Each structure stands twice: as structure tokens, then as C-alpha cells.
Amino acid sequence: MKHTKIIVLGALMMTTTSSIALAQNAFNDANKAVEYRQKAFSVMQNNFSAMGDMVRGDTPFNASIFAARAQDFAAMTSIPWPAFATEGAKPGNNSDALPAIWSNWADFTERAEKLQADAKNLAAVAAAGVEADTRRAFMNAARNCKACHDQYKD
């Protein structure tokens, strides 16, 4: 009887330990990971299109608004990737992520890093406030989106 209790207690302790480990991994649930990265992309896109509107002339170019958007855009470019990186984050329901991501992980990661570098550069250039330079830096950052989506997004 005593022996059984010890085994039960041991099993309970193991369960507790493993649920703590799970809780530390925010992306263990595939659906939550998908939702997380899609929301991150969506906030990133929101800043991106506000700048795009100015670059196209749909809204007047405003250097300080552009600089603020560029800063938030740059901050957001680092957010989606961890939600691709763990086992639980592989395509779940409602995802447009293609399996090619995980069979070309190094290339995918490189593209994600290039986006972040170009976005950081855009934020720095936009902060200086010269419109022509800002437009060029924007176009540079913009190229990353389609290039990656063509390969890795449905």
C-alpha cells in the first residue's frame, strides 16, 4: 500500500514537472502558434501598408508619421518567427504556411533575418527624414515579402 502511494506521488510529480515545461513553451499548441504568427504578420502589414500608401502617393508623405510606422514595422518583423520554430508550430489548422518552410529551414530563416535587417535600415533611414532615401529603403524592405510568400506561403 505504502509502495503504491509512492509510485502515485512520483507519477504526479512527473506530470507537474512536464506541465511546467509545456507552459514555458508558448508555441506548443499548433493552433495558438499559427494564430500568434498570423496576428504578428497582420500588425506588421498594417504598418507596412500605411507606409506603402505614402510611397504610392495615396496619402501625403509625412516624414514623422512614416518614421513612427517604420519603427513599429521594424519591431514587428522579429515577432512571427519563433512561432514557426517549434514542433508544435508546424502547419496546424487555418495556416497558409507551406511544408517547404520546414524542409528549407535555413533558407526560410535567412529570409526572415534579411527582412529584419532591411526593416531596421528603413527605420534608421526614415528617422533621418529624407523622402527619396526613405522611398528607396521602403522598396528594399518590400521586396522581402513577395519573395518569401512565393516560396513559403499558400
| SS3 of residue 25 by DSSP | coil
State the minimum distance, in angstroms, from the CB of residue 150 to ligand HEC. 10
Cβ nearer to ligand HEC, comparing 61 with 104:
104
On whether the CB atoms of residues 28 and 88 are closer than 8 A, the answer is: yes
Tell me the window of 2-10, 61-69, 128-136, 142-150 that interacts with ligand HEC (CB under 6 A). Answer: 142-150
Maximum Cα interatomic distance, the chain, rounded to a whole number of Å: 80
Confirm if 92 and 30 have CB atoms less than 8 A apart: yes
Fill in the per-residue mask, 48 to 77: x = in contact with ligand HEC (CB under 6 A), - = not in contact.
x-----------------------------
Instruction: Choose the stretch contacting ligand HEC; rule: CB under 6 A; options: 36-44, 54-62, 64-72, 121-129.
Output: 36-44
DSSP 87: G
Enumerate residues 6+ apart whose C-beta is below 8 A from 146.
none
Q: Is 135 in the site for ligand HEC (CB under 6 A)?
A: no
